[in-house]
Structure 1
Amino acid sequence: MSAILARKLVDYSSLSLGNMATVYPADHPTLAGEPFSLQEYYARHAPNGSLALLFMPISRHSQNVLASSNRSATISVADDHPDASRARVALIGTVTIFKDLSTAPDVAAIQKCYLKQHPDARHWLPGPREPHIAYWARFDPHTIYYVGGFGSEHYIGYIPLEAYQTAGSVQYDQTAKNIGSGRLHEQIRIL
């Protein structure tokens, strides 16, 4: 159940907006090794829970990811109306950057999906544009940490990656009846 709720939280966020966290590179003149977190747009696209990102090398996150040997980042997503009793999830993973549009898988579908969730991004899509360069990127989570709400009432902990990846839309419909309107809370515990 936690995997389904975590995927629903990420996949059906009305804003498709999370906080991305990266780390300043070792050669940064003043903030080497320090964490950096800021809101970042994403789009749910892949059935396995990977996310599409508009990757702009001018952004601090992009610079940190490019300087990271393993291209690591964390994206955290919370309920649209966050408070301590509501669910939130942290996806820890890696970013694959598609600098060459011809190597990006299914560019037309990614662009359509991204623009559906973020129509304002049409001005910054990858391709020959000025003033900023942009690429498509894919965020692949490898570790999932879920907080269902208060610990005495809800699951808090890691969710197996396979469970998160396979928690699909068929299960959402069945689970929706067990989820309060707008509130993602667990009716049962698993794990």
Structure 2
Amino acid sequence: MPSLRTLALTVSVALLSATALALPAAPCHGHAHNGVTALGETHEQAAGLARNLVKNTGVGTLMTVMNADKKDGTLEGYPFGSMDYYVDDCETPGTPLMLLSHLQINVQNAKSLNRVSLAIRKLPVEGERGNPMIDPRLTLLGHLVPLDAAKRDRAAKCFVEKHPEAKWWLPGSGFHDFKWYHLEIKEIYYVGGFGGIHYIGWIDTETYYEAEASHHQEHEKEHSQLRFLTQ
């Protein structure tokens, strides 16, 4: 005989499914977002959740387009990605700040074609059940831009607070030739979870930067509860 917990979860999921069917479909694969909600997630709320994700994660997959200098040009045009640290820029909140070596393939590729993307997914905290296909994730598309010299001292402090081991990679530390870059965001694609329950679609940069990440913590808690019920 099923337990009371199992029955409760079954009823909750059934109610969520019925509610989702009664609501307009979530923005999906670039559909218009104006006036459309996904079980309470508006375009503006999704922007706040995206800001939280960028602020709290600190690691993502940086992707570029291979240039002609590798493998005798046989890989030219292929996408290339590798994991990298970043922080939410202290000077411009919402903008990823990165410390990258000139030896990295992504940096070499960006010198030929400066079209990059940074994919970020929510990382489960200790004791939390994570599911990468259900948890929120996003892709930021844009350009790598060298950081102004006047901002580098604050960038170093901000970066090392998030990633203490990075103190060994700071410019002038004697390690590889690392330099500061920020990702100039042009487009944002956000996947909150399952469509119909969570927002899926493009978020315009103006709405993203206007959103205050700290103001969306309560909605993020509700978002996590919905995500748990769909697992």
TM category, shorter: 0.7 to 0.9
Structure 1 residue ranges without an equivalent (≥5): 186-191
> Structure 1 pair 153/175, CA: closer, same or farther in 2 (3 Å)?
closer
Q: Look up the match of 1:172.
A: 216
Which residue of the partner structure matches residue 139 of structure 2?
A: 90
Correspondence 1:35-184 to 2 at 5 A: 35-45=79-89, 46-68=91-113, 71-80=114-123, 81-98=130-147, 103-127=148-172, 129-180=173-224
Report if aligned partners of 2:142, 2:187 keep a CA contact under 8 Å in 1.
yes
Paired residues, what number?
176
Instruction: Normalising by structure 1, report the TM-score.
Output: 0.83
Tell whether the 8 Å contact from 1:44 to 1:50 is kept in structure 2 after alignment.
yes
Q: 2:63 aligns with which of 13, 21, 45?
A: 21
Over the aligned positions, Cα root-mean-square deviation in angstroms equals: 2.3
Partner Cα separation in structure 2 for residue 35 and residue 141 of structure 1? 19
Amino acid at match of 1:11: K
d(CA) in 1 for partners of 2:197 and 2:221? 19
> 5+ unaligned residues in a row in structure 2: which ranges?
1-44, 124-129
Of all paired residues, the percent bearing the same amino acid is 31
Residue deviations 1:57-93 (CA, integer Å, cap 9, x gap): 011111111221xx22100111113421111100001
Aligned mates of 1:105, 1:146 — CA distance in 2: 32
Distance 1:82 1:54, change over 3 A: farther
Structure with higher strand content: 1
The structure in which a higher percent of residues are helix is: 2
The answer (yes or no) to whether the contact 1:143–1:160 under 8 Å persists in 2 is: yes
Rg (Cα) greater in structure: 2
Give the SS at the match of 2:82. strand
Counterpart in the other structure of 2:8 = none
